[in-house]
Structure 1
Amino acid sequence: MHLIYHPETTRSFRDLGGVKLYQSFHSYYPPAPNRRPLGAMIALDNLSYMPGNSETCTFPLQHIEVFSLVLAGTVISKDNTGSRHVLTQDTVQLLSSGSGTEITKFNGSLTEEADLLQIWFTPETQDGETNYQEIKSCAENQFQLLVSPDGERNSMKIKQQVWISRGTFEAEAQHTYHKNNEENDVYLFVLQGQATAGGQILNYRDGLAISGKEPVVVLFKQSTDLLVIELSHYK
């Protein structure tokens, strides 16, 4: 088993005015020397939109799969075609940008901060039109499959060999994550709480990449909200 540990304290930070951006890794803005893309996963961003934020965060996207999870508050997402989406807490959105679109996101509340997790993946095929999918994340003491290559178990279908699951677990619980392919790698990201995997303790917004054929066993030291990203071997 090979581990790459990304402590929360080593995330990069940029103040964009009404948006505070924390990056675990990004292909364009590496937070640390060892923060290269993990295969198809090229960015993991955490955006905090300040209350009453009238400023917007607009960026063009082309041939990118974007996973968004609202952890707190409400985020409004619009594109240059007029499509508008209201994303509330625990809403998960998967955007396939296709040949190109321009996305604007901003806080939907005048009084509450919004916390958004956003992960970028390169697709296997670079075709198709812009497409949105949305579901609610609500699993307790088990993992809920949110994203998969074939849309199994009511998950959203992504154009890549990627599976994303989320679960909340009670303190002292233990869970074994069963991979879809033993050759795949796994990236754990703690949204809240504390967990241990491969002997590594993970706290708030810590990340851990795990490669190897061994089962991924996670012990939850506290009540914990955990995201698991499984993807093709990136070594």
Structure 2
Amino acid sequence: MKTVLHPAAQRGHANHGWLDSYHSFSFANYYDPNKINFGVLRVLNDDTVSGGMGFGKHPHENMEIISIPLEGDLEHQDSMGNTTVIKSGDIQVMSAGTGVFHSEYNKNKDQPVKFLQIWVIPNQKNVTPRYDQISIKSEDYQNKLLQILSPNPDDEGVWIYQNAWFYMASLSKDKSLSYKIKKEANGIYLFVLEGQLTIVDNILNTRDAIGIWDNGEELEIKAKEDSKFLLMDIPMLLE
């Protein structure tokens, strides 16, 4: 088994006034040669956007982009004709493929919006751009893993062009869950949204993360206090 620990305090940080962003991997002006990616996981940004502010229209191509709102309302518009507002409980995915323009704004002027923006390198290039979103309920992942993303359009959650599976879970204090990596060539990246938990003898606190790979055994995740986390099962090799 191989592991890499990414403490919250060691993330990249950029405060632009209207945007307060923490980068788990090298992004924009933040560069760390040891944190370019974790397998096909290229970006994990923890963003807070001030009221009424946001990202103007900008392009993407050949990237799977997943947005997970944590608080507030995020308005999305894109060149495919989609105009939506996503909020806590929603999971949004966009396959940029041959190219797409989109914008993201805080829908409210009197409160911030907080969300995770995740980029996954796809296993197919130049696909037709696509958009999808789902809504989940907190009770659906209380003390269990809820699949929110997979490679299969007919499976639970949204889907992307990559052999990846994402799960959301809330664990009550002293509760535990076990997880086995889906494919031998995959690893997991576990990101703690809140609380404190243990995994492979590591104690993780809010916004800490750990990557684990080359492991064929079940992993036990135990909450030391009420906790919530995102688990990403992803290929370790770039295709």
TM-score scaled by structure 1? Answer: 0.93
What is the alpha-carbon distance in structure 2 between the residues aligned to residue 5 and residue 33 of structure 1? Answer: 15
Give the residue type in structure 2 aligned to 1:228. Answer: L
What is the alpha-carbon distance in structure 2 between the residues aligned to residue 229 and residue 70 of structure 1? Answer: 16
Equivalent residue for 2:216? 213
Summarize deviations over 1:144-199 as a string: whole Å, max 9, x none. 10111113542212100110000111010011013322442111000111111111
Q: How many residues align?
A: 234
Matches within 5 A, 1:102-113: 102-113=101-112
Summarize deviations over 1:111-163 as a string: whole Å, max 9, x none. 12111101101111113322111112322111110111113542212100110
**1:52 deviation in Å?**
3.6
Equivalent residue for 2:234? 231
Summarize deviations over 1:179-231 as a string: whole Å, max 9, x none. 32244211100011111111111111111000122212111111111100001
Q: Percent identity?
A: 25
Equivalent residue for 2:143? 141
Note if 1:69 corresponds to 2:68.
Answer: yes
Aligned to 1:163, which of 140, 154, 165?
165
Q: Which stretches in structure 2 are left out of the alignment for 5+ residues?
A: none
What is the alpha-carbon distance in structure 2 between the residues aligned to residue 2 and residue 96 of structure 1? Answer: 30
Q: 1:28 to 1:37 in 2, by over 3 A?
A: farther
Give the residue type in structure 2 aligned to 1:25. Answer: F
What is the alpha-carbon distance in structure 2 between the residues aligned to residue 9 and residue 215 of structure 1? Answer: 28
Summarize deviations over 1:63-84 as a string: whole Å, max 9, x none. 1100110011110111234421
Q: Which 10-residue stretch deviates more, 85-94 or 153-162?
A: 153-162
Matches within 5 A, 1:1-235: 1-26=1-26, 29-53=29-53, 55-138=54-137, 139-211=141-213, 212-234=215-237
TM-score scaled by structure 2? Answer: 0.91
**1:21 deviation in Å?**
1.3
Give the residue type in structure 2 aligned to 1:144. Answer: L
SS for the counterpart of 2:9 is: helix
SS for the counterpart of 1:56 is: strand
Contact 1:23 1:31 in 2 (8 A): no
Q: 1:136 to 1:161 in 2, by over 3 A?
A: same
SS for the counterpart of 1:150 is: coil
Taking only aligned residues, the RMSD between alpha carbons, in angstroms, comes to: 1.8
Contact 1:24 1:31 in 2 (8 A): no
Q: 1:58 to 1:221 in 2, by over 3 A?
A: farther
Q: 1:191 to 1:162 in 2, by over 3 A?
A: same
Q: Which 10-residue stretch deviates more, 108-117 or 80-89?
A: 80-89
